[in-house]
Amino acid sequence: MKTKTFRYGIHPEERKHLSKDAPVIKIEAGEFVRIPLSQHIGAPAEAVVRPGDRVKAGTLVGKASAIVSANIFSSVSGEVVAVESGETITGGRCMHVVVKNDFEYAEERLEPLISPSREDIIKRAREAGIVGMGGAAFPFDVKLSVKNPIATLLINGSECEPYITADYRLMLEKAEGVLRGVRLVAAALGAAETVIGVEANKRDAYEALKKAAGDDVRVELLKTKYPQGGEKQLIYALTGKKVPAGKLPGDVGCIVTNAQTAYALYEAVDLGKPLYERVVTVSGLAVAKPGNYFVKTGMTFAELADAAGVCAQYVKAVQGGPMMGISMHSLRPSVTKSSGALLLLTEDEIRSIAPTPCINCARCASACPMSLMPMKIDALILKDMVNEAKAYHPELCIECGCCAYVCPAKRPLVQSQRLAKKLIRSAGAK
Ligand code: SF4
Ligand code: SF4
């Protein structure tokens, strides 16, 4: 069967075999959950509980404080014991609601919606605290609030990062729920057409979705290539449309979201369940039982590592995939709504070779899915030539890491692009 794709990109070692055959299993929370009030892009939620309050799983503990913000819910039943500052995944700090688990598993639900209108679905996405679960964590109600109906809704089922298999297992095991969520997203957007793209290395998930889909949803097989799940790359692969520089998918009539977000919307609308748990892949050669775990937000990554077991010395812990994930300084931070994976990587799995000077081989440019010249930006920014670097448009970089992956000199090219963006922004601000 012919698969669709985008131009350039890379084929990193997949390593999905470690966890792809592990069905999703639940990990129960321990004695405490520490729930961050900032799990999304935008303003942190404001705490609406105090120490001593009783809560259930699904009780609102943080209220969205601005248009771009999201409600936060307790993930266990028990007693609030603190509202205090705590560590985040990126090494910063934010306020957390700490709940002492009573292990009674009492739940609080919203009223399920019957035949919801477009407005009802968007309102429910806000009430239930749904955010983009593919990593961006953008409040979903804001994304759904388009002025005009859109032409094409694209569901990203590519999960193109190595190791991660959480969306794959969800699509395989809960195809009907994912499809129901996809239809709700399409209804909220007034989408004329809906397409789900699944990479060829997940053919059984593709078949499961295809079987569950009707005439209203098209399921397409995508070539296995990184970064197939990048918004612009997915739009090009599935529609042939190019999103112009500086424009958004909506400017070409498309909206992209991912399978797990659609599933969360199904649960919020049909079951009245707010978003406070998700599927997380725990993998890497240091993990004894790599797998896909249904995890409550507010549990620590250390608890995930304990549940999956650590069988070897790891030298790097990553939240998310190895290409675009965040290196964590400790496993103390809490799992959030957008935590797709915890990777515990051994020395053999990471690159620890020191960079050497560029040999002008142009491999980085050949791999870049945004058609940039990473080596030029790298060289100029190291010489502090910000204006000259600007001419090579580092602002278009999606930080996918393809350039650094192929570079024989092991140049830290993503960091250079990030630095260039930062310096150009601050020069503009001045
Ligand atoms: S320059 Fe940016 S977009 Fe291009 S390959 Fe490197 S990280 Fe990806
Ligand atoms: S791939 Fe590395 S060595 Fe080759 S041109 Fe790019 S930065 Fe230079």
Of 224, 252, 271, the position where a domain reaches its end is 271
Of 271, 288, 312, the position where a domain reaches its end is 271
> Would the CB of 252 count as within 6 Å of ligand 1?
no
Q: Based on the structure, what is the number of domains in the chain? A: 2
Give residue 282's pLDDT band: very low, low, confident or very high (50, 70, 90): very high
Work out whether strand 93-101 and strand 326-327 pair parallel, antiparallel, or are unpaired: unpaired
260: which DSSP letter?
H
Over residues 147-167, mean pLDDT: 94
Based on the domain organization, do 123 and 265 belong to the same domain? Answer: yes
Based on the domain organization, do 260 and 125 belong to the same domain? Answer: yes
Classify residue 8: in a domain, yes or no.
no
The CATH number of whichever domain residue 200 belongs to comes to 3.40.50.11540
> Would the CB of 376 count as within 6 Å of ligand 2?
no
Based on the domain organization, do 132 and 255 belong to the same domain? Answer: yes
Over residues 222-246, mean pLDDT: 94
Classify residue 63: in a domain, yes or no.
no
pTM of the model: 0.94
Classify residue 156: in a domain, yes or no.
yes
Which numbered ligand comes closest to the C-alpha of 363?
2
Over residues 41-50, mean pLDDT: 97
C-alpha 284 to ligand 2 mean position (Å):
28
Give residue 429's pLDDT band: very low, low, confident or very high (50, 70, 90): low
Based on the domain organization, do 264 and 412 belong to the same domain? Answer: no
Q: With a cut of 90, say whether residue 427 has pLDDT above it.
A: no
Classify residue 402: in a domain, yes or no.
yes
Classify residue 399: in a domain, yes or no.
yes
C-alpha 367 to ligand 1 mean position (Å):
8
Classify residue 138: in a domain, yes or no.
yes
CB 257 within 8 A of CB 39: no
Per-residue model confidence (pLDDT) at position 101: 98
Based on the domain organization, do 122 and 252 belong to the same domain? Answer: yes
Based on the domain organization, do 267 and 367 belong to the same domain? Answer: no
- Kindly report, residue by residue over 246-267, the tens digit of the pLDDT: 899 999 999 999 999 999 999 9
Based on the domain organization, do 257 and 385 belong to the same domain? Answer: no
> Would the CB of 19 count as within 6 Å of ligand 1?
no
Domain coverage including residue 218: 111-271
Per-residue model confidence (pLDDT) at position 430: 54
Residues in CB range of 357: below 8 A, 6 or more apart: 409
Averaged pLDDT of the chain:
95
